[in-house]
Amino acid sequence: MNEIIFVTHNKGKMESAKVHLKDIEFKIFDYELDEPRSDDISYISKQKVLEAYSIVKKPCISLDSGFFIDELNGFPRAFVNFVLDTIGIHGILKLMEGKENRNCRFMECLSYYDGQDLKQFFSTTEGILSKEIVGFNSSKKWSNLWYIFIPQNETRTLAQLSDDEIYQRRKNEKESSMKIFANWYIARHPS
């Protein structure tokens, strides 16, 4: 099985990879890839994996995600980092004051490129927005949205869950794009 390089600067994504890609030989290359301006996470992920491959010259993956709030017509979509850097989670909660529909979701796209074939894997994590910022900091955190996102079938934000609970959630996720990719890759490259 060939080694895969995961090019990312996001510590939370690195932690997630250790859970979902444990059966694949992979290394993390800590590098911040350019973020194309687009509303399309599949396009962003594709551009990032092509850039990653041009740097490492080995089969690699890149992961991009968006955050979609139903009441705000999907805002902020793929512009999560810009929104967090400008209005932050306080601003998101301000926009949601008095709103009953608090449904939201993370959508992610993992792109794999080996120099010839480009494959993409998608997943969605449903939830609701809390009405306040709650929780504690963790090395597993990959976004400040953890303080306001309550996953489906949960009563607490991601930031309120213990490291062990986060690990168990990741391990038991049925449809993480990393897990979908890992299953595809292992089937394609049996040991």
pLDDT at position 140 is 67
DSSP assignment string, 120-180 = EEEEEEEEEE-SS------TT---GGGGTEEETT-SS-GGGS-HHHHHHHHHH-S--HHHH
pLDDT at position 123 is 94
Distance CA 170, CA 168 (A): 5
CATH number at residue 48: 3.90.950.10
Residue 56 contacts residue 106 (beta carbons within 8 Å)? no
Task: Please write the tens of the pLDDT for every residue from 106-145.
Answer: 999 999 999 999 999 999 999 999 999 999 887 667 789 9
- Residue 67's domain comprises 4-188
The whole-number average pLDDT for the span 89-99 is: 97
Residue 7 sits at φ, ψ, to 5 deg, of -95, 110
Task: Please write the tens of the pLDDT for every residue from 146-182.
Answer: 999 999 989 999 999 888 887 777 766 667 899 899 9
Q: What is the DSSP letter of 96?
A: T
Domain count across the chain:
1
Distance CA 90, CA 131 (A): 10
Catalytic site positions: 64
